[in-house]
């Protein structure tokens, strides 16, 4: 695992404790590696679902797999969705708002669980908790029943699945929390606000406030969205946040490189097993 970092300034300490290195001139592959780390493999997901489905059928239940949580990495995540001037002129915030609403309602409706369903899926509660230390925090999971059987079949053990898949949440906590708490985000927002003060919408302090004022509405203000997107472009809002986020990503990958070697191996092994299960 190699991350290219360059620069000559001293590292900075974020308020959350993640020390970020100097701003890199190049983070080639870092963001792609990070996205691969926090993403899920569709074949592995399908193989796990197949194992759970077969196990639940033996127990007399029809298993409905839930949609996996998708990790949406975006420098504006937590502040406002990406928005170009062209998109704003065409439909305001309607596109980004409708996409968010669609994601909220995309889980399958499994209805009320029949008696014995959860016990068959997760175990009877007597299964020992599995705990692992991951990126400085302890994560635990009780994986019995068909969930545990599927973990054994695809990952080799529930502990391996916990290590491989809980990366999503722990990475998000470590990287995005530190990133969002960085005071530079406030500085960039202040630049955006100064630009917006010359428009008809000087009351908003950051793009998220502007977006939130109309989010979810098909009749969102075209004028506000265009002014927002225009000011983002003028102050280089998105690029500045992208560069800041890349620094946190690169630092995270370097800080936990030893842990990531083990996790990536577990994932490679699970991908091979998944192909066997799916007949690929």
pLDDT at 94: 73
The whole-number average pLDDT for the span 6-35 is 48
Residue 16 pLDDT class (50, 70, 90 cuts): very low
Among 68-72, 208-212, 275-279, top mean pLDDT goes to 275-279
Lowest mean pLDDT among 47-51, 130-134, 145-149, 204-208: 130-134
Measured between alpha carbons, how far is residue 84 from residues 41, 122, 148, 228, 230 in Å?
Answer: 30, 45, 45, 9, 8
The whole-number average pLDDT for the span 55-64 is 93
Residue 13 three-state SS: strand
Given a cut of 80, whether residue 60 has pLDDT beyond it is: yes
Residue 97 pLDDT class (50, 70, 90 cuts): very low
pLDDT at 18: 43
pLDDT at 178: 85
Q: Do residues 212 and 92 make contact, with C-beta atoms less than 8 angstroms apart?
A: no
Residue 24 pLDDT class (50, 70, 90 cuts): very low
Task: Give me the chain's average pLDDT, please.
Answer: 77
Structure tokens at 202: 């000087």
Structure tokens at 103: 């994601």
Q: Do residues 224 and 214 make contact, with C-beta atoms less than 8 angstroms apart?
A: yes
**pLDDT tens for residues 231-254?**
999 999 988 988 888 888 888 888
**Within 10 A of 27 (CB to CB), how many other CB atoms are there?**
22
Percentage of the chain surpassing pLDDT 70? 72
Q: Which long-range contacts (CB under 8 A, 24 or more apart) does 180-189 make?
A: 180/78, 180/79, 181/14, 181/15, 181/16, 182/14, 182/244, 182/248, 184/240, 184/244, 185/79, 185/241, 185/244, 188/235, 188/237, 188/240, 188/241, 189/79
pLDDT at 7: 29
Q: What is the pTM of this model?
A: 0.69
Lowest mean pLDDT among 26-35, 38-47, 201-210, 266-275: 26-35
């Amino acid at each position: 695992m190699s991350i290219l970092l360059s620069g000559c300034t001293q590292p900075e300490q974020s308020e959350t404790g993640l020390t970020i290195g100097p701003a890199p001139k190049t983070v080639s592959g870092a963001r792609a590696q990070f996205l691969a780390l926090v993403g899920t493999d569709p074949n592995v997901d399908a193989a796990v679902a197949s194992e759970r489905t077969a196990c639940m059928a033996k127990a007399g239940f029809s298993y409905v797999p839930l949609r996996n949580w998708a990790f949406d990495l975006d420098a504006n995540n937590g502040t406002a969705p990406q928005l170009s001037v062209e998109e704003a002129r065409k439909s305001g915030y309607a596109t980004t708002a409708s996409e968010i609403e669609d994601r909220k309602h995309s889980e399958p409706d499994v209805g009320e669980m029949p008696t014995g369903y959860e016990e068959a899926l997760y175990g009877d509660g007597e299964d020992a908790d599995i705990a692992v230390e991951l990126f400085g925090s302890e994560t635990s999971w009780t994986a019995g029943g068909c969930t545990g059987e599927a973990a054994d079949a695809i990952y080799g053990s529930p502990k391996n699945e916990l290590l491989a898949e809980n990366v999503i949440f722990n990475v998000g906590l470590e990287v995005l929390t530190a990133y969002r708490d960085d005071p530079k985000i406030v500085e960039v927002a202040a630049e955006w606000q100064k630009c917006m003060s010359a428009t008809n919408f000087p009351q908003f302090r950051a793009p998220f406030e502007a977006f939130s004022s109309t989010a979810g509405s098909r009749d969102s203000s075209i004028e506000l969205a265009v002014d927002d997107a225009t000011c983002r472009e003028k102050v280089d809002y998105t690029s500045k946040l992208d560069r800041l986020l890349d620094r946190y990503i690169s630092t995270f990958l370097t800080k936990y490189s030893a842990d990531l070697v083990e996790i990536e191996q577990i994932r490679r092994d699970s991908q091979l097993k998944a192909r066997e299960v799916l007949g690929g």
